[in-house]
Structure formats: structure tokens, C-alpha cells
Amino acid sequence: MASPQVVLITGVGKGIGASLARIYLSRPNHIVIGSVRNDTKVAELKSFPTASGTYLLLVHIDSGSLDDPKEALAKIQQAGVDHIDVVIANAGGYPTPVPLDGVERKDLMSCFEVNAAAPLLLFQTFKPLLQKASAPKWIVISTSAGSVGYIGVIGSHILPAYGASKAALNWFTQSIHFTNEWLTVVTLHPGLVQTNQGNWVARKVGLEQAPTTIQESSSSIVKVVDGATREGTSGKFISAPEGTELPW
């Protein structure tokens, strides 16, 4: 049998992360590594039926921890995993939205730690396993709210801490693209998704709920990941549901 496809997804406890994990668990000959903060929230994922030769490996990563990624790496290697083909940095934080004039420093620092610094640390930690894959991919789940060019178009100024931290994530991701020519690097907007956060934003712009279901979002993300190449996709900021590029 061919070497298994190894996919690491952060934040599989709920929402898009859990849906992404289920998609890959449905594919044969896959090792799906999912990071969680709380094991008690993944009972449904643990019981999800897997395809032939596929299994789930859970690791603990709290985005605020400097040690968790290293400990997760050690657990993964102890399980016999010697490479990672795809990392989907999905985990992130979303504080209670506060207008720009009232946003507090602690909220800014918290968002930057979770949404920008944590994914960078994740890359630094798992880079050696990515380098052992034949066609490695580093995929980051960002948001159109992190696009500086879109602030006036979509009114993302209502999300100052979140938007600014995702803009920083975009910067780090582009830097990873330009400094690692062996790697396919893609920044993705998952759509305005029917999560608590997405529905809040939708109501702010006059919609009853967000237009994109979690399943639609995760399926579109996987479609982009499957087709991503260094030559054709790497270094781009893509809206997954539409498959179109977004301005930085």
C-alpha cells in the first residue's frame, strides 16, 4: 500500500475544523491529525466512521501555549508519523466585536497571539515534517476581514482586533510562501459561514444568517487544497466558495 496521506488540521473541536476532519476521514489511506483544546468536545468526531486504512489522531494544542506544538509534534512522531502532506491552520480566535474607538489593547494582543503568532509557531514546529513530504501544502484559514483592500468594500472596520490580526496572519503566510520555494502556500477565506461569528456579521449587514453552510465552506476549502500547486496557487489569497482571488 502507498504511504498514507497525512493531514494536520488545527481546531477540529467544532465548526469548519470538525467538518474538514470528517471529509478527510472519509477518504481511504489517510492519517488525520486534529488539534483540540478540550478532548471532551470531540466525542462525535472520535466515533465518525473512517474509510479503509484511515484513522484519527488527536493532539492537544492551545493557541496561547508555547509548549503545546512541540508536545504535539513529539506525540505525532511517537505514533510513527514521519511526514505531513497538508497542514490546514484553521484554529483562531474571535473576540466580542468592539468598535475601533473602543477596542482595548488586551483584545488586540489576544487576537494577535491566537490568529497570527500561533499559526507562525505551528509552521516553525512542523516545518521539518512538511519537508519530508513529496508535495507539501501549508494552508491557512484567514478571512476577507483581514484584507486591507476590502475594508471599505465590506465594512470590516467593525472587527478591528480580529481583522488586524488576520491581516498579520496574511503577512506571515505570504512570507512563508516567498521563503520556502519547496512548499505550496495558500491563504483562504472560508466564506461568510453559518457559525456564531458568521451569523453575527451577517445580521450586521442586513442578512438573516450567513449565506454559506459549514459543509459548503469545508467542501470548497478541500477542493482548493486538492488542486493547489506551487506554480498555480501558491502565494494567493483565495475565497474558497467562489474560487476567486481577493486583494491583500
CB 9 within 8 A of CB 24: yes
How many other CB atoms are found less than 10 A from the CB of residue 244?
A: 11
- Active-site hit among 24, 94, 150, 166: 166
Whole-angstrom distance, CA of residue 49 vs CA of residue 186: 29
* 107 to 162, 221, 240: CA distances (angstroms): 9, 28, 28
- Active-site hit among 75, 162, 204, 223: 162
* Phi, psi angles (nearest 5°) of residue 61: -140, 115
Helix/strand/coil percentages in the chain, nearest 5: 45, 15, 35
Whole-angstrom distance, CA of residue 24 vs CA of residue 33: 10
Please say if 166 is a catalytic residue: yes
Please say if 55 is a catalytic residue: no
Catalytic residues: 162, 166
